Amino acid sequence: MNRREFLITTSAAAIVPRITLAATRAELIAQPISAQILPEGEPATPMLGFNGSTPGPVVRARQGEVFDVRFLNQIGEGSAVHWHGLRSDNAMDGVPGLTQDVVEAGSEFAYRFRAPDAGTFWYHSHNRSWEQVAKGLYGPLIVDEPTPPDVDHDLIVMIDDWRMTEAGTLAEGFENMHDQAHQGRLGNFARALVEPQVTVRRGDRVRLRLINVATDRIFPVEIEGIDGKIVALDGMPLSDPHELSDFILAPAQRVDIIADVATSDQVAFVFPTRDGPYLLGEVPVAGENTERQPSVVRALPANETAQPDMGNAIPLTLTMQGGAMSRRMMQGMAGGGIWAFNGQSGLTDTPFHLFERGQTARIRLVNDTSFAHGIHLHGHHFFEVEADGDLGALRDTTLVDAGETRDIVCVFDNPGRWLLHCHMLGHQAAGMKTWVEVV
């Protein structure tokens, strides 16, 4: 852990988390804040944050430890906190109406859960998330390996976009139907927020934990100035780390990279757009690390997960429907939203499927729409089935392009009621969600 992470500052306008709650006991106070989203000198933006900042503080523990988080809701409307990607207790999953009652304005909730997996996770509001997350209610949730990899810097890189007005406020219209029927609410200003803000040396070994915290935008990312490997996706280590190349982060997805600084200029996070490269953020480089011996980047220790029973996998199909430019929109869907799974928009009283604990399912995700969707399952990680039929990476959010079909394989071994939804939060708002139950 970096020394700077223990510093506490009182800067009210921070847009990077200044406080690491290194202890597993933490207090998260959701409240209105003012944040410097636009460059210094431009107006600050009224937003929502935790403990005075957006992103909220780094909540961090060691693998196997128990998080004890007292959540106080002072935003003036109901809220709840979801610990994205953590295979936690169902009662602590933070989904109002499914796993808990909404935490009313002015009240609080005690979250207490174990961190079974080491890796990069995040927390965010799960009530009216398309608006509360857009306004800033999220932060990083980091679980350290018992013996963390040997690096000089461990950096969290949260990528977000905001829809700003000329006056520096967030544009209204969080439930704009046109947005929801298309890609969702896309911002006009994007940044990579690096925490802690350090200067690195050429030759340093760094760990980068990228998190797409945007409500709806898919970010292709290029990183300039480092040489290394992708070691984990969505918090789960890759048994065979990939050579670092450009990659895509759907909303909520994470990528962990271990790499060596190979420039004396700056490490740059670049979002390639149709109008050319957009610089999201950078880490300055000064000096040289002459001590570090060159070494290969090794795989992180695997988290313990159940082996799927492929021979007895229950075959299921989840077809994404609706949105602009779709047949289905015209025909109408049960539930009346813009988006649906299998003809049903929004949650029903009965789950999409009821599993007995430990059962394996192979779910065919069929994207019968004109837009990409990042499908997220709560409480579990699943394998993406690769084109050749092999089981690929373990993820909690998978990006399925327009017209694409992808199979996922999941061992449903975590009891409870779990949401399964599109993490384009505007799509979720407009009905692209369902739930499963494990008994």
**Which residues of this protein are in contact with Cu ion, per CB under 5 A?**
373, 422, 424, 427
**Shortest Å distance, C-beta 408 to Cu ion:** 16
Binder of residue 28, out of ligand C2O, Cu ion, none (CB less than 5 to 8 A by kind): none
> Smallest Cα–Cα separation from 134: which of 374, 373, 429, 401?
429
| Region 235-264 residues binding ligand C2O, contact defined as CB under 6 A | 252
Specify the amino acid at residue 407.
D
Measured distance CA(374)–CA(336) in Å, rounded: 21
Provide the Cα torsion 384, 390, 394, 397; round to 10°: -10
Residues contacting ligand C2O: total by CB under 6 A: 10
Residues 6+ apart with CB under 8 A from 385: 362, 391, 392, 406, 407, 408, 409
Q: Which is nearer to ligand C2O, 207 or 254 (CB)?
A: 254
Contact criterion met (CB below 8 Å) for 118 and 82: no
**Shortest Å distance, C-beta 367 to Cu ion:** 9
Q: Which is nearer to ligand C2O, 83 or 268 (CB)?
A: 83
Binder of residue 82, out of Cu ion, ligand C2O, none (CB less than 5 to 8 A by kind): ligand C2O
- What residues form DSSP beta bridges with 436? 353, 418
Could you identify the residue written with the tokens 């757009």? Answer: 273
**Shortest Å distance, C-beta 116 to ligand C2O:** 17
Indicate the pairing of strand 247-249 with strand 219-224.
antiparallel
Q: Which is nearer to ligand C2O, 213 or 385 (CB)?
A: 213
Q: How is residue 132 annotated by DSSP?
A: H
Please provide the distance, in angstroms rounded to a whole number, between the alpha carbons at the two ends of the chain.
Answer: 39
SS3 7: coil
Q: Which is nearer to Cu ion, 229 or 378 (CB)?
A: 378
Q: Which is nearer to ligand C2O, 406 or 421 (CB)?
A: 421
Measured distance CA(408)–CA(420) in Å, rounded: 13
Interface pick for ligand C2O out of 362, 376, 395, 427 (rule CB under 6 A): 376
Q: Which is nearer to ligand C2O, 92 or 223 (CB)?
A: 92
Binder of residue 381, out of ligand C2O, Cu ion, none (CB less than 5 to 8 A by kind): none
User: x/- contact string, 119-158, with ligand C2O (CB under 6 A)?
Assistant: -----x-x--------------------------------
**Shortest Å distance, C-beta 221 to ligand C2O:** 19
Binder of residue 114, out of ligand C2O, Cu ion, none (CB less than 5 to 8 A by kind): none
Contact criterion met (CB below 8 Å) for 213 and 133: yes
User: x/- contact string, 63-102, with ligand C2O (CB under 6 A)?
Assistant: -------------------x-x------------------
Number of other residues whose CB lies within 10 A of the CB of residue 417: 19
Interface pick for ligand C2O out of 419, 422, 424, 432 (rule CB under 6 A): 419
Q: Which is nearer to ligand C2O, 157 or 252 (CB)?
A: 252
Measured distance CA(156)–CA(396) in Å, rounded: 19
Interface pick for ligand C2O out of 135, 378, 381, 417 (rule CB under 6 A): 378
Give kind and range of the element (H or E) at residue 129: helix 129-132
Helix runs in 194-331, H state only: 327-331
**Shortest Å distance, C-beta 124 to ligand C2O:** 6
- What residues form DSSP beta bridges with 199? none
With binding defined as CB under 6 A, does residue 373 bind ligand C2O?
A: no
Residues 6+ apart with CB under 8 A from 332: none
Q: Which is nearer to ligand C2O, 63 or 127 (CB)?
A: 127
Residue 106 in tokens? 């002015």
Binding site for ligand C2O (CB under 6 A): 82, 84, 124, 126, 252, 376, 378, 419, 421, 423
